[in-house]
Amino acid sequence: MASTDAILAARLATEAGALLLALRRDHDPVTGTQALRDAGDRAAHRLLADALAAERPGDAVLSEEAPDDAARLVSRRVWIVDPLDGTREFGDGRDDWAVHVALWQDGELTAGAVALPGLGADGVTLGSDPAAIVPPRDPAAPPRIAVSRSRPPAAAQRAAEALGADLLPMGSAGFKVAAVVRGEADAYVHAGGQYEWDSAAPVAVARSAGLFASRLDGSPLRYNQADPYLPDLLVARPELADALLTAVADGAVAQPVRSS
């Protein structure tokens, strides 16, 4: 193989992010924001699909932007990608969107990368190898919980009340998990409906950095399932995980809302 899976994931996520930035920069506003969102989804998916077909021709792919192929269910290796996580934020000219590339192999996430193209001059890409180093937090400061800026869940509100935490509304799931990895938040609580591609790469990156990740009821996150709906997620610094799981234990049942 030309590179390790983790290096490949990081390279492809970064390249897709650069493509999306160029697309947004060159976009003609006359065609409208929705046209930009659609063009971004298509372009990033095509880049990732073509590159994975060339670099890992024997692997299956599960992408938000392509029809699901049941052949992945009997494959040992499945790339789970979200070519543009946070399509709304991308189209609105915001920075809180991401590109997700993860590899599931023999039942586990084994590699992942989350590109944050809107950060800094050249963007930022977090990968699973080398793992990111999570900055220390001030134990005297109130915890910070990243939540959806459009659908903050009641479970997060309860967690904030129980822990005396502050809620930080943000865009894409990848951006919110990255905020925990980067030390800008201490946890991410989601209960509004997600799919495997929303969390696979962010969870791979978070776990490699030593963070905790599970369903809101504490059960394992399972990927490459026949139904890719994976509705809720907790990513947290390990020292806060037990308290957060207790606080969100009565969380509302998530509804299957397709993410963007």
Residue 82 assigned ligand-binding role: yes
Q: What separation in angstroms does the CA of 26 have from each of 30, 46, 96, 184, 214?
A: 12, 18, 19, 31, 39
- 68 labeled binding residue: no
- The helix or strand, by DSSP H or E, that contains position 23, with its residue range, turns out to be helix 5-25
How many Cβ atoms from other residues are within 10 Å of residue 57's Cβ? 7
Q: Is 21 annotated as a binding residue?
A: no
8 A C-beta contact, residue 6 and residue 101? no
Residue located via tokens 């193989």: 1
239 is an annotated ligand-binding site residue: no
Tokens in use for 75? Answer: 């494959």
According to DSSP, residue 161 is labeled: H
Q: Is 84 assigned to a binding site?
A: yes
Q: Which residue has the tokens 């030593």?
A: 210
Question: Which residues sit in the known binding site for Mg(2+)?
Answer: 64, 82, 84-85, 198
Q: Which residue positions form the known binding site? A: 64, 82, 84-85, 198
